[in-house]
Amino acid sequence: MSTTGKLLIAPPNVRGNFWQRTVIFVTEDHDRGSVGLVLNKTSKMSIKEFSEQHGVESDVEGSIYVGGPVNVNALTVLHSSEWECGNTLRINNRFSLSSSSDLLYRFSIGDKPKHWRIFAGLCAWAPTQLHSEIQGVNGYNHDKSWLISSASKQLVFDLDSTEQWTAAVERSSFEFVQTVLA
């Protein structure tokens, strides 16, 4: 089962580390590995500050999100699929991922998608690693396995921090019950 376009949610018993109360949007899941973005951890840097550091004047409001501990200098945008640039990966009919050297400039002149978040860094898993973590096999603890849910634009773009994590846990629980009752 591919988890592309789904949410991974850290269960309540994951505590005391970076992954505590984390919600991850999976952007890729295939035989070469898996990639995702942490949705609910903001950095201390605003988009405006980041843009200025990179020589782009910008009045774009918001924060840069910490996408994960891998490739922390890579800037990517998770966004609604009505918009694209020269380097856009369409995840499904609702979500796309873009990275381009002119993203900050395009956003500063108002050329941006309806819904979006900017990330520095990402999460990455080796082949079969993510599925082993989810299933709690091959050295991974099932008690700390990722919860999974579908992703909605509201859950991905409109909520933040603990509120986003709580809503994702509730959605995962609801979807699990619906599967059991079906």
So what's the pLDDT on residue 182?
65
Mind listing the pLDDT tens digit for each residue in 94-114? 999 999 888 888 998 999 999
CATH class for domain 6-181?
alpha beta
Closest among 88, 45, 41 to 69, alpha carbons compared? 41
Share of the chain above pLDDT 70, in %: 99
Across the range 14-30, mean pLDDT stands at 94
pLDDT beyond 80 at 52 = yes
Question: What does the alpha-carbon distance between residue 37 and residue 22 come to, in Å, rounded to a whole number?
Answer: 10
Buried b (16+ CB within 10 A) or exposed e, 132-163: ebbeeeeebeeeebbbbbebeeebbbebbeee
Written in H, E and C, the secondary structure of 153-180 is HHHHHHCCHHHHHHHHHHHHHHHHHHHH
The residue that leads in pLDDT, 91 or 59, is 91
| Claim: this prediction has a pTM higher than 0.85 | yes
Q: How confident is the model at residue 128 (pLDDT cuts 50, 70, 90)?
A: very high
The SS3 assignment for 36 reads strand
For the chain, give every domain's residue range. 6-181
Across the range 140-145, mean pLDDT stands at 76
Q: How confident is the model at residue 140 (pLDDT cuts 50, 70, 90)?
A: confident
pLDDT beyond 70 at 93 = yes
The SS3 assignment for 69 reads coil
Average pLDDT of the chain? 91
